[in-house]
Amino acid sequence: MASADAAAAVVDTLITLRRAVSSNVQPVPTKSLDASASDAEPNIAKATYLLFNFTNETPISFELSSPTRFISSGNTVDFRSIYLAWLNKDATVTDYLAATRSVNADLANTAEGGAGGEVKNLIFAEKLDLITWLEGAGDSEYIKPLAEDERLRDAQREAAIARGDADGSMRDANGVAAGALRSGQRELDPRLQEIYNSERKMGDRNSCLRGIKPTDFSHVRKSAELFLGRTSRPRPGTTAPIPPPSAHNPLISNLKKPSNAPSGGGGRRPEPIILLSPSASSLLRMTNIKSFLVDGLYQPPDTSTATPNILHISRTLPSISSHPLRFILVDTPDQFKPDYWGRVVAIFTTGQAWQFKSYKWQQPAELFSHALGVYVGWRGEEVPATVKGWGRQVVSVQVDKWNPSQGTKGRWRDREVVEGVWGNIEQSMRARGWGKEGR
């Protein structure tokens, strides 16, 4: 028997594409609705359908011009635009815009086989939200619920009315719908009444938590500052110490937890963010940071390839989570939402203050009181005076200079440096409320 997701995939384009991503199934653009047709068309501007071939399942095709449940600026986004965004998930903003313009030009050229219409360019936040949802890493705020969910809620309300529950929840101590027989509205069949009496009242996440909307607890931060005696922020140019770990004081741990840090009740832990320096003099850029933090190997930045605008890496931090945490790496906060700053856990810097001009906190002393600073330089060279002036809120590490003739051979000390960086990040995250008790 097919699973519920498989059944839903038959009628929903987004779920089908999400299944294809999780199953590593590559969709095939075609010009025909016939699932058995072999007329594959690699150019999605000329293709009219997208074919999915799942193992042990009947192939299924969707029209690329069909609307989806993804909403952008109040309008539905067509399936071709969704698929194009997925194909460019690792592309830079410039390359993605160029791909969008190229596809639109081909679509308009109907004389050469263009399918007509136009693809939509998703903004950074929308594209990131879509890619995260397709990879199964989180929920989406831009995707409407399935119509089946709405029909299910309508059916539940109708069933509640049939039981005599005017608001869908009124039942007496015996489990009988209040007023079902007393009001004289209708007299139920005894067998049906017996079934209703045996029902168990279920609820969703909101009803179980005694609420129907999220609560803003930002006022707790202000109360915590008064309670802890920290009513003033550090002055510009001064050094504010990193708060000590609070694992032994549950009250302080709860008060100091970021507003969007993981909370009790099974909520999904937010993905921490690491900011890199966009400076051309930085030893670590978007092209080599993954090799450094994941493989423990320093290599010079690759300037011959396109620079990705976002990366994802996973790392297990034992004192925070027994499962790998997924980190987001970016070199600019231009597309940040306000709540993203609460998820920034580390900032790589070259010691140049202009890096912080677009940040929420532009003063180094204030900035590094919210996130750990990391300076990476060559071994044997002097640490910049500006970095030293920022105090112990910024850790300084050094790697061996790159030797082109030697390459990656003999870089065994890089792993030790990387482990030290991760150790400092883990300690800083613990001090700011990221911990197992926050699950």
Q: Is 113 left (phi over 0), alpha (psi -120 to 50) or beta?
A: left
- Taking residue 319's Cβ as centre, other Cβ atoms within 10 Å add up to 14
Tell me: the pLDDT tens digits for 30-76? 888 775 556 788 889 988 999 888 888 888 889 999 999 999 888 99
- Taking residue 186's Cβ as centre, other Cβ atoms within 10 Å add up to 9
Contact 163, 196 (CB under 8 A): yes
Residue 268 backbone phi and psi in degrees, to 5: -75, 130
Class of domain 250-438: alpha beta
Which pLDDT score is estimated for 418?
A: 93
In the predicted structure, residue 21 carries a pLDDT above the cut 60: yes
Name the residue with higher pLDDT: 89 or 183: 89
Handedness of CA 34, 38, 39, 41 (dihedral sign): positive
In the predicted structure, residue 5 carries a pLDDT above the cut 80: no
3 state SS of 143:
strand
Q: Report how far residue 79's alpha carbon sits from residue 119's, in angstroms, rounded to the nearest whole number.
A: 9
Q: Report how far residue 398's alpha carbon sits from residue 113's, in angstroms, rounded to the nearest whole number.
A: 57
Q: Report how far residue 422's alpha carbon sits from residue 429's, in angstroms, rounded to the nearest whole number.
A: 10
Tell me: the pLDDT tens digits for 204-222? 555 555 555 566 666 777 7
Identity of residue 329: L
Residue spans in the chain of domains classed CATH 3.40.50.11990: 250-438
Residue with tokens 């945490």: 325
Closest CA to 61 of 39, 43, 77, 81: 39
Name the residue with higher pLDDT: 304 or 314: 314
Mean pLDDT, residues 131-153 taken together: 77
